[in-house]
A and B are shown apart, each in its own frame.
Chain A
Amino acid sequence: MSATAETARVITFVQVSPHDAFEVFTDEVDLWWRRGPRFRSGGPDSELCFEQDAQGRRLIERGKEGVFEIGRVQVWEPGKRLLLEYRLRNFAPNERTEVEVRFEEQGKGTRVVLEHRGWEALRPEHPARHGLSGESFSGMIGLHWGDLLTAYRQYASGRP
Chain B
Amino acid sequence: MSRAVPDVEATLLALSDPTRRGVIELLRFGPQRAGELAGALNMTKSAFSRHLRVLRESGLVREESMPDDARVHVYSLQREPFDGLRGWLDEVESYWTLQLESFKRHAERTRGPKPKRGRPE
Of the 9-residue stretches A23-31, A55-63, A66-74, A75-83, which lies at the interface with chain B?
A23-31
Q: Are B110 and A24 within 8 A (Cβ)?
A: yes
Residue A134 is within 8 A (CB to CB) of chain B in the complex: yes
Most buried by B among A25, A32, A38: A32
**A10 / chain B contacts, CB cutoff of 8 Å:** 93, 96-97, 100
A-side interface mostly: mixed
Which of B57, B97, B102 is close to A33, meaning CB atoms less than 8 Å apart? B102
Q: Are A15 and B113 within 8 A (Cβ)?
A: yes
**B15 / chain A contacts, CB cutoff of 8 Å:** 5-6, 120
**A121 / chain B contacts, CB cutoff of 8 Å:** 16
Give CA–CA (A24, B3) in the complex, Å. 38
Residue A93 is within 8 A (CB to CB) of chain B in the complex: no
Residue B1 is within 8 A (CB to CB) of chain A in the complex: yes
Given contacts A9-B93, A10-B93, contact A25 B103 (CB under 8 A): yes
Restricting to B91-121, which residues have a CB under 8 Å from any CB of A?
91-93, 95-108, 110-113
What's the nearest-Cβ distance from chain B to residue A69, in Å?
19
Give CA–CA (A15, B112) in the complex, Å. 6
**A141 / chain B contacts, CB cutoff of 8 Å:** 9, 12
List residues of chain B with CB under 8 Å of any chain A CB: 1-2, 5-6, 8-10, 12-13, 15-16, 21, 24, 54, 57-58, 82, 85, 88-89, 91-93, 95-108, 110-113
